[in-house]
Homo-oligomer: A and B are copies of this chain.
Amino acid sequence: MQPTSSHPASATPGSSTPGTSGTSLDRLLGYQLRRASAVMMADLARELADLEMRPAEVTALLVIAETPGCSQTEVGQVLGIKRANMVPIVSRLMDRGLIDRERADGRSHALRVTETGAEVVADALARIERHEARFSSLFDTATLDALHAALPLIRGQRDDSDG
């Protein structure tokens, strides 16, 4: 319902990727998002590999570092990870001595990053910056701004339920 939409039916004519032969799927926003996300996830996983941390664990660690004293349910809400799925993540971070628990409520724990954890956070942030730079350098400022404005709007379309 826009005036004269110009998304090409056969997408990226000048693509440098030979393997991408071009399906009608290529004109779908959701499909492009999924493929692009998979590429960045794979690159991030590779960058974090010798830290022996999975992306989900690193993001949880970063949230705890930024929100000292938060509960693991709160971390899950920020990251869109369900309570039940937070358990093994927090367990692993505990086992490796990267975070610390303190009784807060009788039923909830206050999570905090340890000194070792802070070092890992610093290392992880450096790796993430390198990883991000590899991709953001593909775009000019205007395009990057457009992406950073558009993607949160898609996120906002979810209905939510548990957390």
Contacts and interface: CB of A to CB of B under 8 A. Distances in A.
A160 B29 CA distance: 22
Interface stretch (A85-93, A96-104, A105-113, A148-156): A148-156
A150 B154 contact: no
A4 to B, nearest CB: 7
A29 B43 CA distance: 13
Contacts of A126: none
A41 B157 CA distance: 12
Interface string A56-76: 000100110010000000000
Size category of the A interface is 35 or more
B145 A6 contact: yes
Contacts of A153: 12, 15, 138-139
A42 to B, nearest CB: 7
27 contacts: A2-B141, A5-B144, A7-B144, A15-B152, A19-B77, A19-B160, A20-B155, A23-B63, A25-B59, A25-B79, A28-B128, A29-B40, A29-B151, A30-B41, A30-B132, A31-B59, A32-B151, A33-B33, A33-B37, A33-B40, A36-B152, A37-B37, A39-B154, A43-B157, A43-B158, A143-B150, A147-B147
Given A33-B151, A40-B154, 18 more contacts: A2-B140, A7-B144, A12-B149, A15-B153, A19-B160, A19-B163, A20-B156, A25-B63, A26-B152, A29-B135, A29-B147, A30-B37, A30-B43, A32-B151, A36-B151, A37-B37, A146-B146, A147-B150
